[in-house]
Chain A
Amino acid sequence: GAVVSQHPSRVICKSGTSVKIECRSLDFQATTMFWYRQFPKKSLMLMATSNEGSKATYEQGVEKDKFLINHASLTLSTLTVTSAHPEDSSFYICSASLGRGSFSYNEQFFGPGTRLTVL
């Protein structure tokens, strides 16, 4: 159980185009989803926290107009990289959890990641 999928696994796009990445919780309802980006040989950096039915909370330094996050249902969150540029090339990873961790930590289940390459 607790499987999270991402689609696509790899995407190559031209500079200036927009790319949408989907994150799905396959066998549970995810109250909260997280989006991370990871550069080669670097750690995971949290971009934003997405709670179902509300606006995403972005980490400092992450452009909310650049990285649009939608969490319209309990099983799906999408990340849209708008007007992509080569510096947006990265590995994007989502995770999903059952709760918001208001009282104690609720486990995050990670997706397999999406490799974005912007030419």
Chain B
Amino acid sequence: GESVGLHLPTLSVQEGDNSIINCAYSNSASDYFIWYKQESGKGPQFIIDIRSNMDKRQGQRVTVLLNKTVKHLSLQIAATQPGDSAVYFCAENIRGGGNKLTFGTGTQLKVEL
């Protein structure tokens, strides 16, 4: 079946460094992508989104890149802080699929002091 997946289950970075979290998807009908941050014992928190007609979108300290050719999505966090430690999920919405989201497997980001 088609799925959304992540390349790395755990990513450790030094405080102040930039972090890059990757996500692969396989459904060419995916139209909209979202990155979520989830802290332990809490619900997902929206970080940034991107539509399939874009290849880059920037927010505060975060950038999402979309490469539709290879079906790859990445989240870049600039100047990573201890508060960024969490699990990050990408999620996709398929065009015509209603409001359903399919979540990737997640990457644990650990920020070392």
Contact = CB atoms under 8 A, between A and B. Distances in A.
A113 to B, nearest CB: 5
B99 A110 contact: no
Interface string B69-113: 000000000000000000001000100011111111110100000
Contacts of A107: 46
B15 interface: no
Contacts of A104: 31-32
Contacts of B36: 110
B106 A101 contact: no
B41 interface: yes
Contacts of A102: 98
Interface in A34-72: 34, 41-46, 49
Interface string A73-111: 000000000000000000101010101111011111011
Given A43-B106, A101-B93, A93 B101 contact: no
Contacts of A41: 106, 108
Contacts of B46: 107
A4 B32 CA distance: 22
A3 to B, nearest CB: 11
Contacts, number: 60
A49 to B, nearest CB: 7
A113 B36 CA distance: 15
A39 B17 CA distance: 30
A115 B104 contact: no
A113 B106 contact: no
Given A43-B106, A105-B32, A105-B93, A49 B41 contact: no
B43 interface: yes
A93 B44 contact: yes
A91 B89 CA distance: 16
Contact of B99 (A106, A111, A113): A106
Per CB-CB distance, the 6 closest pairs between chain A and chain B, nearest first, are: A101-B99, A110-B43, A101-B98, A105-B93, A44-B103, A43-B103
